[in-house]
Amino acid sequence: MLLILNTIINIEKRKKYDLIFSDIIRNLNCASEICYPDEEIKNSRLSRYDHLLITGSELFASEDNENDKQIFEIIHYFLKHSKSILGICYGHQILAKAILGNKSCRKAEKPEFGWKKVKLDSNPLFEGIENPVFYESHYDEVCNLIDDFRVIAKNDDCPIQAFQYKNLPVWGVQFHPEVDYKTGEYAFQKRLLEKPGLKKYFKNELENSQQIKQNFEIFRNFIKTN
């Protein structure tokens, strides 16, 4: 069973992402449950799950947050038992931070915002994905990884777009494979209205909206592990 750790704080946004991930996982015929960092989650509950998915968030992993301890404990439980983990955006950053500490995450020199091309290395997580373009929206980035981590994706604006930890089924991805074209376009327009200053960072490297559909294979590949 998959545990989805939804790290979004805003309740309305949290509900929206509950639906997004529930729809994706349901299409894969995978049993799943959702939990939140601000609820108490005991090891007796965690023992039911073999996969952990950590969502993005409006939080900054480069800063300390009140729910960090709970998130770290969940991550370390899954690591201790060699269970599968996939962190997305903030989840990618907090996964590195849980393993390496504060030195593994920092403010990016400039935000990454838009539909961005990403170069992928050969990896089981990326099976069936070629020359992808992903939704990107982040101010922090992962850094200072040690040899236990293998960088498996990058682009010109962010040198660590994805990593795998050791040879375990443990991955972090900076981009958002869960965001489809319609959702992404709406989110970009809304953010640019709220924060016009982001326009100078916005990049659209998407040639065809159909390119987005293959990105969901990441979830299928993740579920197949372990």
Which residue in the list 51, 92, 138, 176 is annotated as catalytic?
A: 176
Query: Among positive and negative, which fits the CA dihedral 45, 47, 48, 54?
Result: positive
User: In angstroms, rounded to a whole number, what is the distance separating the alpha carbons of residues 134 and 78?
Assistant: 27
> Do residues 79 and 169 touch, judged by C-beta distance below 8 A?
no
Tokens at 23, concatenated = 């729809």
Tokens at 60, concatenated = 């900054």
For 127-158, give one letter per residue: b (16+ CB within 10 A) or e. eebeebbbbbbbebbbbebeeebeebbbbebb
Q: Look at the block and give the residue holding tokens 């939080």.
A: 59
- Which amino acid would we find at residue 175? F
Which residue in the list 35, 89, 105, 158 is annotated as catalytic?
A: 89
Let me know if 141 is a catalytic residue: no
Q: What is the CA radius of gyration of the chain?
A: 16
Let me know if 30 is a catalytic residue: no
Let me know if 89 is a catalytic residue: yes
Which residue in the list 112, 136, 141, 178 is annotated as catalytic?
A: 178
Q: Which of 135, 210, 119 is nearest to 175 (CA)?
A: 135
Between strands 84-88 and 170-173, the pairing is: parallel
Between strands 51-54 and 84-88, the pairing is: parallel
> Do residues 89 and 122 touch, judged by C-beta distance below 8 A?
no
Question: Which residues make beta-bridge pairs with 163?
Answer: 151, 172
Query: What residues are labeled active site?
Result: 89, 176, 178
